[in-house]
């Protein structure tokens, strides 16, 4: 993932909070989400790519086409907006996450955005830890 992409974007999820939701706890633990994220940041640092964690607010609810908030429960798997946009909910969220990461990256090139620097530094510190 990090080798073949210049930018890897993901939600800055609190695993601890997600584990409090008993419906989600087992699948999140099984997927070792935290470890997965550590590896992404490690390899992004290793290959000189950007790993950007974005705020998870409204990534599922927001329409990736028009920006409207379309409320839906976890069991609603399709995002359908009045603007005509119809996508799987995860695809809609993924587009929103990528757009937020691009904004952070483009802001970085202009003004040194804090989040991006933190991600890069995190990748470097993990690299240091792994080589000790
Ligand atoms: Zn829309």
From CA 37, how far away is CA 52, in angstroms rounded?
A: 11
Cα 102 to ligand 1 centroid, rounded to whole Å? 20
Nearest CA to 122 out of 23, 51, 71 is that of 51
Burial of 88 (0-12, 13-18, 19+ CB in 10 A): exposed
Asked if 9 and 100 touch (Cβ cutoff 8 Å), the reply is: yes
Q: Cα of 63 to ligand 1 centre, how many Å?
A: 5
What does the DSSP 8-state code read for residue 104? H
pTM of the model: 0.74
The domain segmentation of the chain, as residue ranges, is 7-131
**Cα(65) to centroid(ligand 1), Å:** 5
Per-residue model confidence as pLDDT tens for the chain (132 residues): 899 999 999 988 777 777 777 777 777 666 677 788 889 999 999 999 999 999 988 999 999 999 999 999 989 999 999 999 999 999 999 999 999 999 998 887 665 444 444 444 444 434 433 433
d(CA 66, ligand 1 centre) in Å: 4
Instruction: Supply 75's token pair.
Output: 């069991």
Distance CA 92, CA 17 (A): 23
């Amino acid at each position: 993932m990090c080798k073949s992409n210049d930018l890897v974007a993901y939600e800055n999820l609190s695993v601890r909070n997600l584990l409090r939701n008993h419906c989600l706890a087992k699948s999140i633990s099984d997927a070792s989400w935290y470890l997965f994220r550590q590896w992404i940041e490690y390899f992004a640092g290793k290959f000189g790519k950007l790993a950007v964690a974005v705020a998870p607010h409204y990534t599922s609810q927001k329409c990736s086409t028009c920006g409207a908030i379309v409320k839906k429960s976890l069991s609603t798997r399709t995002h359908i907006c009045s603007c005509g946009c119809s996508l799987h909910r995860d695809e809609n969220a993924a587009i929103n996450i990528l757009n937020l990461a691009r904004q952070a990256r483009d802001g970085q090139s202009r003004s040194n955005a804090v989040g991006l620097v933190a991600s890069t530094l995190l990748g470097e510190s993990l690299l240091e830890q792994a080589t000790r």
